Structure 1
Amino acid sequence: MSEKISVHQLCFTILTLLSLCAWECSALTDEELEALDEFVDAAMTCKNVPGLTLSMVKDGQTVVAKGYGVSDMDKGTPVTEHTLFNMASLSKSFTASLMAKIFSKHQDISWSTPYNEYISDIAINHGDDYRNTQTTMYDLLSHRVCMADDALYLLLGGFVNVDRSDYVRHRQYLSEICPFRSKYSYLNTMYAVAGEIAEVLEGDTFENLIRENIYDPLGMTSSGFANLDWDDENYSESYVWMPDQYWHHFNKSTNVMIHAQVAAGGIISNAVDMAKYMNFVLSGGKDESGEQVVDESYLRETLRPQTAIHNPYIQSRPTFPVDESSYSYALGWNNVMYRGYVKYFHRGSFPAFGSRLAVYPEVNVGVFIGANGPYDGNDQAAMQRIEAFATDLLLGEEPWLNTTTACTFPEPWQPSSDGVFASFTLKNDKRNGENEKKVNKIKIHKVHTARPLDDYVGVYGHKAFGNCTIWQEDGSENLRYRYGEYGLGELIPSLQEDDVFVITMVGPMAWFLETYTGEIPLVARFGSSEGDIIDELVLLYAPGMPMHVFRRGELMHGPPMPKPTVPPVEDCGSVVGHSPLMYALLAIITVVCTMWGNLVVPQND
């Protein structure tokens, strides 16, 4: 009896010691956990973040997986470790991981094989044989193809009803923005091409391939896809803090727009599942039981530097107490140095979510963060500082940020550009007091055009961007337009220039007009390629991106019929408009911008 007891005691002692060792090697102290919570709360408060999710891993263990704030501002629903957030561009690493799995099975092809050798009906650039025959998976996933993106048209739902395979095969009609492989140029559309290649090679949908090769083996039982699972009850609401100082509650049903680029930004997940994903990457492709899910050599290749990123600060003296430099892009990951540690990182942004993911394989540490607003840059600012603080705790380093500098950064090390700290406090007061749904009434002016409005009516198309329908309703002194599922509104003749119309918008994406453009209006410009007949339209362009011309007869598909319209002055959602005085200012700005040249919209991250 005594022998059995001693053996039992010995086993119990060994198990206890092992469990204590595992705990000591991976967990944070109570004081560190309390400091973490205080830091997160401080950063969220001063940066106006409604809800946030966080997971931290070390040595194969989940150290933290929890939520902060609310997932629904109206109901006060708290964020938990199970609340789903949009991963946005963190999805790119999932696509790279999937391709690693596929290439490990197809020994006759590799990352460096021109994909034209095994899939010949997808072109990168219409008429550019070199791009079309030489582009590899390295090129697609490391952002060196150098073609224009279509983020704006995607956001307007321009491809909601376009078959994904057809969408990919029309990307060849995008314009070149720099010579092939000449530099790093972030491009969501090439991940859509990679996703289509995966579907062709494996004979299944991208979503099913991710489930079967990533989600299921890793036990990511809650994760899904924004285009398919946007109505999941665990999927957080998201919020945009508008320039006019009010919250816009983003309509999640519009997440279906991402179906065309699900391989670039369609993953949704939570803190628990993302901890499993981080451990998968850190372990070289293994699941929780130690079984190899993706061949280690192929997965490690997704982390290897591929395309240099211009960064003048890499060799400079650090401005802040610690150094951090991004120097290249791998396959779905940025290559970064933080405090002398090798860091693989990506961030994401998709209305109205933000996300960040960082792993450190040499020390087996990872941090994931997601936020559901305010989608104005402050979400990334808050998450960046939380990531640094959480990473320092896991690394055993003294955190260089505290609850004060989380808000004042870059002060005291570098002057702020303006008095932003005071405005953060104002925003926070507004957030705690109300969740306003603002409706601005659009004032319509009677402006005579140089030609009859009928001259502009018709369907204008672009082989990459789809079709835009322009029509006039009886009795209206303005034109109406529909582009995609969400691009709907009126075209109001410019006060100063013929054939130029100021764009108004209604419906679930109307908020973007104000958020993306500020005081500079979006305009529609009609033109004639020859003679006097209107046959060209430049629609929705803003400073900084190339101009795209829609033409009569150049259609991506058969022309859509106009849908019943919601009067622009009475949209039941958020309508973004301006006062009569503002319209006069907009017209003047339009002329000035026209003199400068092309106008366009910033790319989605």
Structure 2
Amino acid sequence: MARYMQLHLNGGKGPDGRTMVPDDLFRELHTVQFFKPYEPNKELYRPQYPVGARNIGEALGLEVADYRGYRRVYYFGLSAGFTSLMSLFPDQSGGVFTVLNGPEFPLSVYMDVHSTLHYRVADMLLGLEPWLNTTTACSFPQPWVTSSSSVTYNADDTDDTMPSAYSLDFPRDKRDYEGTFGNPIFGNLTIRLNSTDGTLRFKHGLIGHGIILPLATTSGNRVLLNGPIRLLAPVAAYFEETQGGAINRLVIPVTSAEPSVVFERGLKLTDVDELPTAGGCTVSGAEATVYDMWPYDLQLGVAFIVFAFKFI
């Protein structure tokens, strides 16, 4: 990762000085292509904060911003179980990369952890007086932001909020939920009843699998798709019924501004829908162990930091 960052900082030149990517392509890569609206979860403004950090716009796959008046190019990435953030300061020939492991929710907490590390390292790199100390770094964004960034759950919401409780009792026979549910983009999701332990199990794609838990809410068809921590963070969803009362859709809300992901019952998009047997992706036997619920506060297993500076 350090070599990749150095490639950006050196305008496409490798460790031996040889041009690997033309400099003009990197300049275009770091140039704003369109501007972005105000993003309160990513920007700092005086006098609320002691410093300023502002997003300018989108480049080609990267975001362009300024931090305390210095140009910053960065990218935030996530995958199942991991989040990462890369910050480059091209004019100062330095940068920092962090990666954290754990479930992906809530993202606001992960962004706070990444941002705290990057702001502190940026001050060191830029030779500025640090504004985060051992107290404020652990409480960021407090004391400047007093409201909690935690995501709350309301049984009537249809957005990406997370539940606070679950039960073990389904409102109807578990066999009513069995079947194959398909989505044109996300493929097949199969639900089956485990005859050994009586749990309702799901399988999605090649590596997604886990247990379905009913949520303790007034709306009886809300459930939690809970998989192994290394693969899938808990996902809140709900089943829809036909007028006759049959289960016909599984709906996974995304955000209030985006359409939900809908899996239609009986829509099978491929005949190849098996879990791989190599690499530890399957759970052998009857899968009798129910996956423990992952708490929704931050569970920080590993924090890995990479520093990169321009070649001399």
TM-score per shorter chain, which class? 0.5 to 0.7
Letter in structure 2 aligned against 1:549: V
Matched residue, 2:241: 527
Q: Tell me by how many angstroms 1:325 deviates.
A: 0.3
Q: Measure, in 1, the Cα distance between the counterparts of 2:197 and 2:101.
A: 40
Of 118, 124, 133, which residue of structure 2 is paired with 1:393? Answer: 124
**Which is greater in Rg?**
1
Once the two structures are superposed, the pairs formed by residues 156-555 of structure 1 within 5 Å of their partners are 269=1, 274=2, 276-311=3-38, 317-372=46-101, 377-410=108-141, 414-417=144-147, 444-445=168-169, 447-448=171-172, 456-472=177-193, 480-484=201-205, 485-490=207-212, 500=221, 502-503=223-224, 505-508=226-229, 512-513=233-234, 522-528=236-242, 532=244, 534=246, 536-541=248-253, 544=256, 545-555=258-268
Q: Tell me by how many angstroms 1:475 deviates.
A: 9.1
Q: Tell me by how many angstroms 1:465 deviates.
A: 1.2
Q: Measure, in 1, the Cα distance between the counterparts of 2:182 and 2:229.
A: 23
Say if 1:479 and 1:397 are closer, same or farther in 2 by CA, change over 3 A: closer
Given that residues 369 and 383 in structure 1 are in contact (C-alpha distance below 8 angstroms), is that contact kept between their aligned partners in structure 2? yes
Percent identity for Structure 1 against Structure 2: 26
Given that residues 458 and 471 in structure 1 are in contact (C-alpha distance below 8 angstroms), is that contact kept between their aligned partners in structure 2? yes
SS of the aligned residue for 1:570 comes to coil
Once the two structures are superposed, the pairs formed by residues 110-149 of structure 1 within 5 Å of their partners are none
Once the two structures are superposed, the pairs formed by residues 28-177 of structure 1 within 5 Å of their partners are none
Q: Measure, in 1, the Cα distance between the counterparts of 2:137 and 2:267.
A: 52
Q: Measure, in 2, the Cα distance between the counterparts of 1:536 and 1:358.
A: 45
Say if 1:471 and 1:319 are closer, same or farther in 2 by CA, change over 3 A: closer
5+ residue gaps, structure 2, are: 151-165, 276-281, 296-312
SS of the aligned residue for 1:512 comes to coil
SS of the aligned residue for 1:407 comes to helix
Q: Counting strand residues as a fraction of each chain, which structure ranks higher?
A: 2
**Residue-by-residue CA offset, 1:538-593 (whole Å, 9 max, x unaligned):** 2444664522332345332127479988667623xx42299xxxxxxxxxxxxxxx
Letter in structure 2 aligned against 1:575: D
Q: Tell me by how many angstroms 1:455 deviates.
A: 5.6
Letter in structure 1 aligned against 2:132: L
Say if 1:304 and 1:318 are closer, same or farther in 2 by CA, change over 3 A: farther
Residue range with higher mean Cα deviation, 302-311 or 462-471 = 462-471
CA root-mean-square deviation: 4.2
Q: Measure, in 2, the Cα distance between the counterparts of 1:486 and 1:505.
A: 10
Letter in structure 2 aligned against 1:361: P
Given that residues 489 and 568 in structure 1 are in contact (C-alpha distance below 8 angstroms), is that contact kept between their aligned partners in structure 2? no
Letter in structure 2 aligned against 1:302: L
Q: Measure, in 1, the Cα distance between the counterparts of 2:140 and 2:196.
A: 55
> If the length of structure 1 is used for normalisation, what is the TM-score?
0.37
SS of the aligned residue for 1:469 comes to strand
**Residue-by-residue CA offset, 1:183-220 (whole Å, 9 max, x unaligned):** xxxxxxxxxxxxxxxxxxxxxxxxxxxxxxxxxxxxxx
Given that residues 469 and 482 in structure 1 are in contact (C-alpha distance below 8 angstroms), is that contact kept between their aligned partners in structure 2? yes
Say if 1:475 and 1:492 are closer, same or farther in 2 by CA, change over 3 A: farther
Say if 1:303 and 1:443 are closer, same or farther in 2 by CA, change over 3 A: closer
Given that residues 464 and 556 in structure 1 are in contact (C-alpha distance below 8 angstroms), is that contact kept between their aligned partners in structure 2? no
Q: Tell me by how many angstroms 1:311 deviates.
A: 1.1
Q: Counting helix residues as a fraction of each chain, which structure ranks higher?
A: 1
